Amino acid sequence: MLLIALTVMASCKKDTDPADRDFFVGTYSGTITYNDGSKNISDDDGKVRVVKTGETYSFIFGTGIPDITGVKFQGSGDTYASIGDGLTGISVNANSLKILVTNSKGSWTANCTR
């Protein structure tokens, strides 16, 4: 139990880079937006919780914005880019989170710091 508590606390430290951990939970604050054609949400004081388990990331938005889940970064590092079913660019490190995702479900952006 103590080991689990220590792991969670270490994963939440503000200087922890998600790429360096198998388990990570951190909250980033800044401007977030979402648009699906019928719904347009923008929050200049928004929050995104980043959860990493193993190699899979989830980006949990507040303000009624749908979450982005099941993201696996290619190679090593903290930037994910994909061209195919839409456009995806996500960069996350200990200090910042930047998201530009556009696909058939909508468009998400985030420009956040921790």
71 closest CA partner among 61, 63, 81: 81
Weakest-pLDDT range from 6-10, 41-45, 62-66, 69-73: 6-10
Residue 81's pLDDT is: 61
Q: What gap in Å lies between CA 70 and CA 82, rounded to an integer?
A: 13
**Mean of all residue pLDDT scores within the chain:** 83
Give yes or no for residue 16 having a pLDDT over 90: no
3 vs 53: which has the higher pLDDT: 53
Q: What is the domain partition of the chain in residue ranges?
A: 2-113
Dihedral sign, Cα of residue 103, residue 42, residue 63, residue 26: positive
Give yes or no for residue 3 having a pLDDT over 80: no
Residue 2's pLDDT is: 42
Q: What is the mean pLDDT of residues 79-92?
A: 71
State the greatest distance between any 2 C-alpha atoms of the chain, in Å, as a whole number. Answer: 47
Q: How many residues does the chain have?
A: 114
Residue 7's pLDDT is: 46
CB 59 within 8 A of CB 79: no
19 closest CA partner among 28, 27, 11: 11
Give yes or no for residue 76 having a pLDDT over 50: yes
DSSP 6: H
5 vs 55: which has the higher pLDDT: 55
Residue 84's pLDDT is: 57
- Strands 56-61 and 68-72, how do they pair? antiparallel
pTM of structure: 0.81
